[in-house]
């Protein structure tokens, strides 16, 4: 595995854990096969496969910082920070930028909801987790080392749009997510790998 991917685990769907330089950060914890002690939990939106209170409880401690879209205040009134697209916060040396995540030709993730992807840096590595989204214009303003991009083609962009997203954000490494469920398969992740020159790493599900 590329050194930049050390400490990266994919559980299922959009659920990613990063352990690097003593920091444990989760995005959309769901289907966790291991317990942990998260320093940060970033939530993209409140769908059941992105907002699992059971999985959050497995890794949340009294010191965990929880970040969520501003539109999730009713579901999660005890989050530490509510963000809107374009907001930037710096927490214990981890810079977190909230970016738009929405569908352009589907009904599942409306732009008006203000749901999020995130760009953040840990130990000099910049990660982009796109959230559940189609290809959107703001991706051209993102620069990252690693991009976690959905490619299921039903609820989010498919592999062709994900390839355009990878080129837009100039990712050095692309990790396909949200494949293998809801009619998507590893073929979608493989298709993405065939379409771009960046290093594409197809991770196995943890556990």
Banded model confidence at residue 206, pLDDT cuts 50, 70, 90: confident
Is there a contact between 44 and 129 (Cβ–Cβ < 8 Å)?
yes
Q: What is the 3-state secondary structure (H, E, C) of 137-195?
A: HHHHHCCCCEEEEECCCCCCCCHHHHHHHHHHHCCCEEEEECCCCCCCCHHHHHHHHHH
Is there a contact between 195 and 159 (Cβ–Cβ < 8 Å)?
yes
pLDDT, mean over the chain: 95
Round to whole Å and give the CA distance between 148 and 142. 13
Q: What pLDDT sits at residue 93? A: 83
Round to whole Å and give the CA distance between 12 and 81. 25
For residues 39, 7, 127 and 108, what is the CA-based torsion angle, rounded to 10 degrees?
A: -80
The residues, ordered by sequence, that sit 6+ positions from 75 with a Cβ below 8 Å of its Cβ are 46, 51
Overall average pLDDT of the 70-89 stretch: 96
Matching CATH number, 3-200, of 2.60.40.1180, 3.40.50.150, 2.60.40.3670, 3.60.15.10: 3.60.15.10
Express each pLDDT in 12-51 by its tens digit: 999 999 999 999 999 999 999 998 999 999 999 999 999 9
**Cα→Cα distances 106→42, 110, 135, 156, Å:** 24, 8, 12, 8
| H or E stretch at 59 | helix 53-59
Percent residues over pLDDT 90 in the chain = 92
Q: What pLDDT sits at residue 182? A: 72
Q: What is the pTM of this model?
A: 0.96
Q: What pLDDT sits at residue 196? A: 96
Domain ranges of the chain: 3-200
């Amino acid at each position: 595995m590329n050194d930049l991917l050390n400490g990266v685990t994919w559980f299922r769907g959009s659920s990613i854990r990063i352990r690097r330089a003593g920091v444990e950060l989760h995005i959309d914890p769901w289907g966790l096969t291991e317990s942990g002690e998260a320093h940060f939990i970033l939530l993209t939106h409140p769908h059941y496969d992105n907002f699992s209170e059971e999985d959050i409880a497995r890794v949340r401690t009294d010191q965990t910082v929880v970040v969520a879209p501003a539109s999730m205040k009713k579901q999660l009134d005890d989050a530490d920070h509510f963000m809107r697209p374009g907001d930037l916060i710096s927490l214990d040396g981890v810079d977190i930028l909230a970016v738009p995540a929405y569908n352009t030709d589907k009904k599942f993730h409306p732009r008006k909801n203000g749901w999020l992807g995130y760009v953040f840096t840990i130990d000099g590595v910049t990660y982009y987790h796109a959230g559940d989204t189609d290809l959107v214009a703001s991706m051209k303003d993102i620069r990252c080392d690693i991009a976690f991009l959905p490619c299921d083609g039903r609820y989010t962009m498919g592999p062709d749009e994900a390839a355009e997203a990878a080129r837009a954000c100039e990712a050095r490494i692309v990790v396909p997510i949200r494949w293998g469920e809801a009619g998507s398969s590893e073929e979608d992740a493989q298709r993405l790998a065939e379409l771009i020159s960046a290093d594409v790493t197809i991770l196995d599900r943890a556990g």
